[in-house]
Amino acid sequence: MMRGVPGTSDAGQGRQGAKSGVLLRLRRFAEDRRGVGAIEFAIVAPLLMMAYISAFELTIGYTLSRKVSRAASTVSDLLTQNASTNAAVLDTMKDVTKSVIAPFPQPVGFTLKITGVAIDADGKATVAWSRDQDKGQPYTKGTAVALPSSIEGAKNLFFVRTELAVPHKILLVAPNLSSKLNDITLAKTSYFGLRQGSAIACPDC
């Protein structure tokens, strides 16, 4: 009768026990759900922040765009209520646009071009006078003007064209972020016809 080698069975049982212990720990690790919420939040949080910031920026941009449009229309509307104007009055129009787009600031680099356009009996449109935000003359008197489709074919008409362009910086939550994509220009061109009379005179424009 042969006897087993002393310690062989004990060694095998030890290895099997160690293997079972490792498997048990791996199983417990796989089943342990602690910290899963934190990991999921860490993955989802940046996406939620991007969505929030995008929605915020779109809302700000849309609101300012509407204010820019309203400001340009207001300038044209005010100037077409009278049969005459002057350089001093035109120079106050930038203050009008500033008030309309408030509480947004009127940033450095904005442009405001106000032009009186006369259309003769032949339907030819030319610049009668013009004024910009720096008290300059952006368009030479007598220069031909391309008419918008809404008033093409008009004759013996005088209208005021207001061009307002406001630079806007997106990513307001990170103003120091430098990117070619964070600077856009919100622009609007408004056309209003003269309410009464045949022309708006501006002797010193």
Would you say residue 201 lies in a domain?
Answer: no
Q: What is the pLDDT of residues 107-150, one digit of tens each?
A: 889 999 999 999 999 999 999 999 999 999 999 999 999 988 88
pLDDT at 26 over 80: no
Q: How many domains does the chain have?
A: 1
Which tokens go with 189?
A: 């061109």
Rounded CA separation 105/14 (Å): 78
Would you say residue 19 lies in a domain?
Answer: no
The answer to whether the predicted template modeling score (pTM) of the entire model surpasses 0.95 is: no
Higher pLDDT, residue 194 or 46: 194
Would you say residue 128 lies in a domain?
Answer: yes
Query: For residue 90, what are the CA distances in angstroms to 124, 131, 141?
Result: 25, 7, 16
Q: What is the pLDDT of residues 83-102, one digit of tens each?
A: 999 999 999 999 999 999 99
Would you say residue 198 lies in a domain?
Answer: no
Would you say residue 48 lies in a domain?
Answer: yes
Would you say residue 16 lies in a domain?
Answer: no
- How sure is the predictor about 75, in pLDDT bands with cuts at 50, 70 and 90? very high
User: What pLDDT, on a 0 to 100 scale, did the predictor assign at position 171?
Assistant: 66
- For residue 160, give its domain range: 37-193
